[in-house]
Chain A
Amino acid sequence: MQTTPLVEMRHIHKRFGGVHAVNDVSIDLYPGEVVGVLGHNGAGKTVLIKTLSGAIPLDEGEILINGEKAEILTPRDARKYGIETIYQTLALADNLDAPANLFLGREIMTPYGTLDDGAMENESRKVIERLNPNFKNIKDPVRNMSGGQRQSIAIARAIYFNAKILIMDEPTAALGPHETAMVAQLIKQLKSEGIGIFLISHDLHDVFDLSDRVSVIKNGRLVGTRRTADVTKDDVLGMIIMGKLPPEKAA
C-alpha cells in the first residue's frame, strides 16, 4: 500500500517490574483497514493497545499518527487524535446511567453551562438502538445491567464521537449471537467509512471474517503480521501457540 499508515507503533516496550509485558512490538494500521491482534491470555495485547489509547505510558518506542510522531501520554491526548477505545474491562462507572457513561468527559452542555441530561439521553437512545434495539432501560445505573448491555454502552461510546482510529479489546465477549452479528455489521460499515480498527479477539472465526491482516503476539513479542487472505486458521493457530511464522506469500 502506498498511503501513509494511519497508525504506526514502532518498537514498543513496556515493563511492569520484572515483567516485560510488551517487548519490541511494531504494528501498523491503514485507513479503512481492520487489523486483528491475536495472542494467548497474558500475551500483552491489552497492554500494547493501552499504550496507544493513552491509558499506559510506554517505556520505549514511538507512535506515529498519519506519519507524524504523536505524544500520547493520557487518554485525553488519544481522544485528540481521534482514537477511541473499547476496553476489555469496559471502563464504566457502575453508579451512573448509560447516557452519563457514554458522555463521560465529553458532556453535552446547555447554553447556561449546565449538563444537558435530556439531550444526552436522547442521543444515547439513538446510538444504542443501532446496536441493541431491545435495550430500553438506559436510565438505570449501569450496575443493574447485563454484561451484554454494558458492552453495548462501551461500544456506543466508542463509535459516537466519530473516531478515526478504533481499538476494540474483546468487544463481543459478552454479546449474544444477534448482537455479535450487529457489531460485525458495524465494523464493516465503519471500515467502509475509512476508519482504521484494531480488533482484539479470541474468536478466530470473527477475526478471519472481519480483518484484513492479523498480528500475533506471544509472550510480549510480535510473532509476525500476515494478510488474512494469505493464511489459514491452522497457520494462525501455529503462530499463537507455537510462535511459528508461516512464510510470507508474494503479493
Chain B
Amino acid sequence: MTNSETRQEKSGNFVSVFFREAEIDTRMLAMLIALLAIWAVLYFLTDGIFLTPRNLYNLAVQSSVVGIMACGMVLIIVAKHIDLSVGSVLGFTGMIIAFLQVRVFTLDASWNWPLTIVCGLAVGALVGLWQGWWVAYRDVPAFVVTLGGLLVFRGAAYLVTDGQTVAPLDPTYQIFGGGIDGSIGALWSWILGGVAIAWMVVSTVRNRARRAKYGFRAKPVWAEAGTLILGVAAIAAFIIVMNSYYKPRTDIPRGIPVPVLILISVVVIMTLVSRITKFGRYVYAIGGNLEAAELSGIDVKKVTLWIFIIMGLLCAVAGVVTTARLNAGANSMGQLEELNVIAAAVIGGTSLNGGIGAVSGAILGAVIMQSLDNGMVLLGMSSAMRQVIIGLVLVVAVWFDVVYNKRKR
C-alpha cells in the first residue's frame, strides 16, 4: 500500500524547501543560528580569543557539566515538574565523593576512585528517590520539594566536612575532569568520529528501509543526504578543533575531552530512553495529559519517582566531572547551576507547559548558556554582572517559548 497523502505544495525558496523536506525543526534551527550569532559576536569582542581551540576545548568541558544535568531536566520538565535542587545535589554528591576519596578510603589504593564514584552515584540516586517520593507519593509540588532540596543539600554539602575544601584527589580520577590527561588523543578521537559517522549513515539507511516496509512516505534522498553531510561536517569540525589544542609545551593533540565523552554517552542513553522505551513514552504522556495517562493504566507515581531518580544520578555524574576538574571537593560546587540547567532545557525547546522537549535540544541550550558565560569571563565581566545577564537570558528564553507556542496555535 502506498500512501495517498498529497505532497505539500512546494512554494518557497530552496532553503525553506530543504528545511521542510528534511523535517528540520524550525525552532532548533533558530537556536543553531542564535548560537552561531553569539559565537560571531564574541569572536569580534574578544579579538578572536573566543574561537581559539584552547577556549573551545574549555567551553566543551564546561558545557558538559550543564549538559549532563540538562538531559535529566528535560524529562523533569516534560513531565510538568521542575527541579531547583540540581546545583545543590551536584555539590552534595561531589563533596561525598571527595570526602570518601581523601578522608575515608586509602588514598593510593587502586579501588579507591571507582568505589567513590559508585558511592557518589548511589547517593545521587537516593537523593532522587527521596525527592521523587515526596512528589509522586505525597503529592507535594516538585517546586516546593526541590526548593527545599536546594537548601537541604547545599547545607548538607557544607556539613560533610564542616565547610572545608578537600584536596587533592586521586590522579587517575582527574581524567574525568578533562584536564591535562583528561582527553583521548588524536587517533582515538578520529576513530570515535568515524564510528559516529558510520552510525549516522547506517541509521539513516535503516530508517528509510523501515518506512518503506510499511509504505510510509520517506524524506527525499537529497534532503536526507544534505542532513547527513551537515552532520558529518559538524563531527569532523569538532574533532579537528579538539585535536588542534595541544598539551602544555608539547605538540601532542589533546583530542576529545573525557567529560565530553561522558556527556555524549549520557545524551545517547537519555535520547534512547526518551524515544524508544515505554518509560520515555509515559513521561511525555504524563506531561501531555495527566488524566489520560492515568486512565490508560500508566503507573504515574512510579514513572515520576524514576524521573527524579535519574535526575539525581545525573547530578552525581556532573559531580564527578566537577570534582575531577577542580581536583578538589568544595562545598560551593554547583552553586546557581540550576539556573543554567533549566535555561539550557528551555532554550533547547523544552516547554514549561509540559509534554514537549528533546534531549538533543537541551545540549544545544547548554552550549548556548556556557558560550555566554565563557564569553563574558573572557571579556572580564564581574560575576555579579554575569548573573544579571544569565538571569535575563532565562526570562527571555521562556518568553520566546511562550511566543513560539502562541504562533504555532
Q: For residues 283 through 307 of chain B, which have their beta carbon under 8 Å from a beta carbon of chain A?
A: 284-285, 287-289, 291-298
Mark A72-102 against chain B: 1 for CB-CB distance below 8 A, else 0. 0011100100000101010111111000110
Q: Which residues of A contact B (CB under 8 A)?
A: 53, 55, 74-76, 79, 85, 87, 89, 91-96, 100-101, 104-107, 109, 114-115, 118, 121-122, 136-137
Q: Note all chain A residues with C-beta closer than 8 A to B292.
A: 91-93, 101, 104
Interface centre among A92, A105, A115 (most CB of B within 10 A): A105
Complex contact A93–B284 (CB within 8 A): yes
User: Interface code B207-225, partner A: CB below 8 Å = 1, 0 otherwise?
Assistant: 0001101101000000000
In the complex, whether B356 has a CB less than 8 A from a CB of chain A is yes
Q: Looking at chain B's contact residues, is the secondary structure mostly helix, strand, loop, or mixed? A: helix
Q: Are B276 and A115 in contact (CB under 8 A)?
A: yes
Name the residue on A nearest B409 (C-beta). Answer: A143
Contact of B297 among A75, A96, A100, A121 (CB under 8 A): A75
B277, A114: Cβ atoms closer than 8 Å = yes
A180 to B288, CA, bound (A): 28
Contacts of A79 in B (CB 8 A): 297
Q: List 7 A-B contacts (CB under 8 A).
A: A75-B294, A92-B289, A93-B292, A96-B281, A104-B293, A105-B298, A136-B5
Whether B7 is near chain A, meaning CB under 8 Å from some CB there, is: no
Chain A residues with CB below 8 A from B4, complex form: 136
> Do the beta carbons of A91 and B297 come within 8 Å of each other?
no
Distance from B217 Cβ to chain A, minimum over Cβ atoms (Å) = 10
Complex interface: chain B residues within 8 A of A114 (CB): 276-277
Instruction: Give the docked Cα–Cα distance between A161 and B276 (Å).
Output: 22
- Which residues of B come within 8 Å of A, CB atoms? 3-5, 210-211, 213-214, 216, 275-278, 281, 284-285, 287-289, 291-298, 355-356
What separation, in Å, do the CA atoms of A118 and B214 have in the docked complex?
7
Complex-state Cα separation, A101 to B284, whole angstroms: 11
Chain B contacts of A106 at CB under 8 A? 296-297
CB distance from A29 to the nearest CB of B (A): 21
Shortest distance from the beta carbon of A125 to any chain B beta carbon, whole Å: 9
Residues of B contacting A107 in the complex (Cβ-Cβ under 8 angstroms): 278, 281
Which residues of A have CB within 8 Å of B294? 55, 75
A95 touches B276 (CB 8 A): no
Which residues from chain B contact A96 at a C-beta distance below 8 Å? Answer: 281, 284-285, 288
**Beta-carbon contact of A115 and B278 below 8 Å:** yes
Which listed residue, A91, A105, A118, touches B213 by the CB 8 Å rule? A118
Most buried by B among A53, A85, A96, A121: A96
Query: Distance in Å from the Cβ of B277 to the closest Cβ of chain A?
Result: 7
Contact B295 A55 (CB under 8 A): yes
Instruction: Tell whether, in the assembled complex, residue A89 and residue B284 are in contact, meaning their CB atoms are under 8 Å apart.
Output: no
- Residues of B near A53 (CB, < 8 A) are 295
Are B216 and A121 closer than 8 Å at their CB atoms?
yes
Bound complex: CA of A104 vs CA of B288, how far in Å?
Answer: 12
Q: Are B289 and A91 in contact (CB under 8 A)?
A: yes
CB-CB under 8 A from B214, the residues of chain A are 118, 121-122
- B-chain residues with CB within 8 Å of residue A87 when the two chains form the complex: 295
Within 8 Å CB of A100, what residues of B?
281, 285
CB distance A95 to B297 under 8 Å? no
What would 17 more interface pairs be, CB under 8 Å, given A96-B281, A96-B288, A105-B296? Answer: A74-B297, A87-B295, A91-B289, A91-B291, A93-B293, A93-B355, A95-B287, A95-B288, A96-B284, A96-B285, A104-B285, A104-B293, A104-B296, A104-B298, A115-B276, A115-B278, A136-B3
In the bound complex, how far is the Cα of B295 from the Cα of A79, in angstroms? 10
CB-CB under 8 A for A95 and B355, given A76-B297, A104-B298, A105-B298: yes
Residues of B contacting A115 with CB < 8 Å?
275-278, 281
In the complex, which residue of chain A has the Cβ closest to the Cβ of B354? A95
The CA-CA distance from A105 to B291 in the complex, in Å, is 13
Q: B281 — which chain A residues lie within 8 A by C-beta?
A: 96, 100, 104, 107, 115
B210–A91 touching, CB < 8 Å: no
Shortest beta-carbon distance from B268 to chain A in Å: 14
With both beta carbons as reference points, the residue of chain B lying nearest to A74 in the complex is identified as B297
Of B210, B289, B296, B355, which is within 8 A of A118 by CB? B210
Distance from A11 Cβ to chain B, minimum over Cβ atoms (Å): 25
Residues of the A chain whose Cβ atoms lie less than 8 Å from the Cβ of B287: 95
Nearest 6 pairs of A and B residues by beta carbon: A93-B288, A95-B355, A105-B296, A95-B288, A76-B297, A91-B292
Residues of A close to B213: CB separation below 8 A: 118
Residues of A contacting B210 in the complex (Cβ-Cβ under 8 angstroms): 118
Q: How far is the CA of A87 from the CA of B296 in the complex (A)?
A: 11
Residues in B neighbouring A94, C-beta threshold 8 A: 288-289, 355
Q: Could you tell me the distance between the alpha carbons of A55 and B292 in the complex, rounded to whole angstroms? A: 10
Contacting residue for A75 out of B276, B284, B295, CB 8 A? B295
Query: Within 8 Å CB of B296, what residues of A?
Result: 75, 91, 104-106
In the complex, the chain A residue whose C-beta lies closest to that of B280 is A115
With a cutoff of 8 Å between Cβ atoms, the chain A residues found around residue B297 in the complex are 74-76, 79, 105-106
Nearest residue, chain B, Cβ from A85: B295
Residue of chain A at shortest CB distance from B289 = A93
B293's nearest neighbour on chain A, judged by CB, is A93
Contact partners of A122 in chain B: CB under 8 A: 214
